[in-house]
Amino acid sequence: MDNIVIKVEGDKQHAFSSLLKEMQEIVNETISEVVSHYGKKPIEISNWVAIIILKRILESSKAGEILISNEFERDAAILLTNQIELRLDMIYVSLDFNRAEEWINHTHEHRKPWKVSELFKELYSDEDEFDNEKKLYRHFSMVKHGNPVGETFSFPLAIKNGALSIPPTQDILLGKYALYNFAFSRELFITLKAAMVDFKRCGFDVSECESKADFINLMMNDLYDDNIKEQISLLMQIKPKPELCNSCSVIPEGFVEITCLLRRGNKEDIFTCDKYKSKSTD
């Protein structure tokens, strides 16, 4: 693989972190809007569960920022796995607020109120969406559980085909940084939207916060899509064409780590390995 010089504008990294911070602020603002009514009317148990979950994911996303900014992406993946689990809980409660009692009264230390596998089946009836969500969770869970199948996605070093595999020390394409900032923002957004279902059910006006969250989410999606397209364009300049890894899309194995499992709908066609391979042979 020929060496190529790739310059990444400094403001791109700032753009990702700024949008994540904006989403964090909107979550805080929403929580404050609900809590400010305390005393005027009782806050239901389901609302407290929503606030507790949002606060935890908010805290986790801020910790994740610190980790990924210092290139500790594997520890950030562990936090992301936890966020996914909490997001599933929040969606499940938003569909039936009576489940909040079960969540808040849960007493078993060795397990969560509901199994993650059961929540996936319950919440994602569409087969493609179910498979994508499961793969996404499994991908980051490999890091959390120290699964050697994850190779350098799970460990700083790995043995593959009898040889030592060492990942690049510099994320020159902002692949990891973009991935985790996008993922942290996504988990915050989806969890917030689920919480807002219950907030609105109880009469709280969170429409302004919801509009802002929708806007920031669209901006983050566009930024992430553009970043992937730029990566594809730059990687196309490499000669000979690199082989793609099996677990990640559009990015050559051992060059930079990124997953396109976060893509949804029509965008999935744009960023799949097969799509990139077809472009590589043009």
pLDDT digits (tens, 9 = 90+) for 121-177: 999 988 888 888 888 888 889 888 888 887 777 888 878 777 777 776 666 667 788
Other beta carbons within 10 angstroms of residue 70's beta carbon come to: 10
The residue that leads in pLDDT, 11 or 40, is 11
262-270: long-range pairs with CB below 8 Å, 24+:
262/136, 262/179, 262/182, 262/183, 262/186, 262/224, 264/129, 264/132, 267/225, 270/225, 270/229
Q: What is the pLDDT of residue 101?
A: 94
> What sign does the CA torsion over 138, 103, 49, 213 have?
positive
Q: For residue 249, which phi and psi values (nearest 5 degrees)?
A: -100, 145
In 3-state terms, what secondary structure has residue 258? Answer: coil
Confidence category of residue 224, pLDDT binned at 50, 70, 90: confident
Q: How far apart are CA 7 and CA 104, in angstroms?
A: 49
User: What's the rounded Cα separation, in Å, for the pair 243 and 245?
Assistant: 7
Where residue 241 falls among pLDDT bands split at 50, 70, 90?
A: low
Query: Which spans in the chain are helix H?
Result: 10-35, 45-69, 73-95, 99-104, 116-123, 127-144, 175-201, 207-235, 267-270, 273-280
Q: Which residues contact 235 (CB under 8 A, 6 or more apart)?
A: 173, 242, 250, 251, 252, 255
Report the pLDDT value the prediction gives residue 243, as an integer from 0 to 100: 53
For the segment 261-280, the average pLDDT, to the nearest whole number, is 44
SS3 annotation, 234-254: HHCCCCCCCCECCCCCCCECC
Query: Which residue from 192, 208, 195, 228 is spatially nearest to 16, judged by alpha carbons?
Result: 228
Residue 245: which pLDDT band, with cuts at 50, 70 and 90? very low
Mean pLDDT on 196-225: 93
For residue 171, the one-letter residue type is D
Integer Cα distance of 268 and 260 in angstroms: 8
Q: Mean pLDDT, to the nearest integer, of 254-280? A: 44
pLDDT tens per residue across span 179-190? 899 999 999 999
Task: Give the angle subtended at the CA of 207 by the CAs of 205 and 212, to the nearest 5°.
Answer: 140
Mean pLDDT of 245-260: 42
262 pLDDT above the threshold of 50: no
Single-letter amino acid, residue 214 = D
- Report if pTM > 0.85: no
